[in-house]
Structure 1
């Protein structure tokens, strides 16, 4: 009998029942904002925007929104965070951060350097505890809580720069795991420090059978590659022949939906998939219950959220917000509407445009889904295609043709003065269908899913072209342009110049 597991499960069940108690998210958010303003009122940023007077106003949220503008990374970094890099303190948050999260996102090689304070480390840790407590809502046996967890993030070998440690947020988080958790954590500190992705995965594959992995955590694309390597190394049919007690996969970083079919093909039996939303700027949400694939916003943990309706009139060409764009607090949002997500945090980000778009699926439960990126919005000739619509259309193709299509990117091209959408789709499946038929069916799916797209197809958008590439082409592109593994994600929409670079890069993979 799993005695220790039974004890842990009992504690989690009790903690989970307390955590599930209804709370007032409006009051949570007001409290968080007041705490943020109070703590930062004597910083350079707090003095400039007079946080003290905001705190004394009758409507703190409204006054905060009137006095403080929207910021994207470049605006906040150039005006404020750059002073931190030069050694100044008390700029947008008291003191000076010990860490910087490096994030090139999906748009280029140049890394953003996002401050990560001790308050943020604590916020992420507290969010992790809330997520563990939520396991009480899932039907997991006691012996699951005695198995180990494979956290496939970026390297924990953080680099020192001017007295600060830098790395991706997953590496920073893993390097700060509690001492009591280290016995459960795999691949362990030595392997996790290996910078080279392929070398790290090779070590994981060699050691895999010595571990009793019950849970996986990481970005789907890189998790799939790791699982394939382990399966190949041990010459087995599926991962459960190596890790028979594997029961849970905690996904994150991107929507799991496009990877579901190819991921499940690596399993010997079904497992529970739990979505999380950890970004370089903070731990935002996690899946709280098995009845939904949506995630619950964490409204009482050092992050104040705001929401701008995601409409082309409010978005600049570079994905930033126009200052006149209207904003909503959490009590005013509507379900099934795309919003640009803004965050003010205990790392000194203020009204910060994280770059993601979300939609509320259940306002009462504060549950959301990620619908795309402000920059991953294909609006050439009015087509207004968001990433979630693209994901849905790709999933339909997988079901219709019984194939796996986990990766894609798309851009607008002009041929003989007419616009087309050029799709590059990644698949290692044995295709029983032509690229022309895939393009026709994809076009049909998008017309049915998006009225703006259907209108555009009847006017200026001439058609759809599809090129199918091996998955290696996408992974090598990511490796060449950024770095394999960790938080690196494939860009789903490319502008003309980037698409031309991609086309040149993948021509030998055809």
Structure 2
């Protein structure tokens, strides 16, 4: 019997009995009031008259009517750029000690998103909440004595004047509580290595010295790391190196596209727990094993609004129209898709984070991430969201008994007609024409708008299968490896031409 693990598990159980769940709607109302109160004397708060909003009987409605939507480009151009010019009290009191670098899925240039001490406190608090829910997953007591492999970006942050910069995973890992450092792997020294390949090499070399019970990171990069560790030790699977591995806390993207390839690296199934940690904050986490949905964090520094996912509200660049209606948590409905809008303790206001979500359980405020507004493929009315694409690719995995962890698609005009041109990342030898027909059929069944488009302006589907490694090398060439970097699922014609040129170059070199 693991005595220490039993004590830790008992303390977590006791905490859960003492700490009661807040009323979600009331908690959100309180969060908005605290945000407005704290920021009312900033330049942003003065311009949008936060003090007057606070004096109204319905601050949520007045806030929505007064403050416009912002995506990163707009809030940076109008407000956040001032922080880099030495100003303070811009959209949040003082100056942020950190900026989260996020190239996201859109290109080489990094976004610089402010991260305040208040936000770091909120992330830590939510992290503790998430750990406390692990007892819901029927894990043995000795699990709570094992080490956790957190595979994020480098913790060697860049000094830029009076602040530091790095990806949010690196910022968070560099601020972990002292009591957690004994459990945290790969440890401070290896985590500071900026080069992803070198960091993974060090992890592989040291892997057998650690007793890893849990993994945490983005699935694509976690999978690559596990393959390197397995290859280095000439093992059949990762459980030969880490026999006590029982949990993978996945974040950043949907896990389902990686499920089949990820599971092939294991000797037996492990518990998969989804989390939603973005550069802008820790938004949600999976609280219970009966669902793959995540519970929104409603009482910890983030105010949520939800724009109905309607093509009429989405601009070609993925931003949303000024007249798009926003709903509060009290107004959302189950199984409806929404564009997520957040206001935070880092001074993001009515901010388009870029993700779309669907409520699976309104009473529990549980969501699933369904895609990205920039990955919404609506050329000639096909109205394809990423979750529909993921579902179709999973159908291909079943039909052709293969693993397809990566894909990207573009609507291309060929001889005056539109086609959806797909690249699927797989190590399996497949007949591209048969895969294209199966993919087309799966999308027709999943999406009536796609079916209508295929009967009219969308002439067909083209598929090419390539090695998944080309997707990772593309990210390395355009952004960098590891961390928060994710592959763009939908490309415009210009980017797709660059992508195809990159593929041709890679295939010639190999």
Coarse TM-score class (shorter-chain normalised): over 0.9
Structure 1 unaligned segments of length 5 or more: list them. Answer: none
Question: What is the rounded CA distance, in whole Å, between the counterparts of 2:95 and 2:3 in structure 1?
Answer: 45
SS of the residue 2:79 aligns to: helix
1:445-486: CA deviations, max 9, x gaps?
000000000000000101100000101110000000000000
Question: What is the rounded CA distance, in whole Å, between the counterparts of 1:454 and 1:361 in structure 2?
Answer: 26
Question: What is the rounded CA distance, in whole Å, between the counterparts of 1:397 and 1:318 in structure 2?
Answer: 30
SS of the residue 1:91 aligns to: coil
SS of the residue 2:480 aligns to: coil
Partner of 1:187: 186
What is the CA-CA distance between 1:310 and the residue it aligns to?
Answer: 1.2
Question: What is the rounded CA distance, in whole Å, between the counterparts of 2:154 and 2:392 in structure 1?
Answer: 34
Q: TM-score, normalised by structure 1?
A: 0.99
Question: What is the rounded CA distance, in whole Å, between the counterparts of 1:136 and 1:266 in structure 2?
Answer: 26
Partner of 2:442: 445
What are the equivalent positions in structure 2 for 1:94-133 lying under 5 Å apart?
94-133=93-132
1:306-358: CA deviations, max 9, x gaps?
00011111111111111111110011011111111000000000000001111
CA contact (8 A) 2:22 2:299 kept: no
Question: What is the rounded CA distance, in whole Å, between the counterparts of 2:451 and 2:92 in structure 1?
Answer: 47
Question: What is the rounded CA distance, in whole Å, between the counterparts of 1:23 and 1:155 in structure 2?
Answer: 35
What is the CA-CA distance between 1:17 and the residue it aligns to?
Answer: 3.7
Is 1:454 aligned to residue 462 of structure 2? Answer: no
Partner of 1:292: 291
What are the equivalent positions in structure 2 for 1:53-64 lying under 5 Å apart?
53-64=52-63
CA contact (8 A) 1:81 1:92 kept: yes
What is the CA-CA distance between 1:509 and the residue it aligns to?
Answer: 4.4
Question: What is the rounded CA distance, in whole Å, between the counterparts of 1:7 and 1:300 in structure 2?
Answer: 28
Q: TM-score, normalised by structure 2?
A: 0.99
CA contact (8 A) 1:16 1:135 kept: no
Question: What is the rounded CA distance, in whole Å, between the counterparts of 2:152 and 2:349 in structure 1?
Answer: 27
Is 1:467 aligned to residue 487 of structure 2? Answer: no
SS of the residue 1:375 aligns to: helix
Question: What is the rounded CA distance, in whole Å, between the counterparts of 2:309 and 2:245 in structure 1?
Answer: 39
SS of the residue 1:300 aligns to: coil
Partner of 1:9: 9
Question: What is the rounded CA distance, in whole Å, between the counterparts of 2:383 and 2:16 in structure 1?
Answer: 41
CA contact (8 A) 1:469 1:509 kept: no
Structure 2 unaligned segments of length 5 or more: list them. Answer: none
Question: What is the rounded CA distance, in whole Å, between the counterparts of 1:335 and 1:389 in structure 2?
Answer: 18
Question: What is the rounded CA distance, in whole Å, between the counterparts of 1:168 and 1:508 in structure 2?
Answer: 30
CA contact (8 A) 1:470 1:509 kept: no
Aligned residues: CA RMSD: 0.8
Question: What is the rounded CA distance, in whole Å, between the counterparts of 2:73 and 2:252 in structure 1?
Answer: 21
What are the equivalent positions in structure 2 for 1:200-211 lying under 5 Å apart?
200-211=199-210
1:143-192: CA deviations, max 9, x gaps?
00110000000000000112210000000000000000000000000000
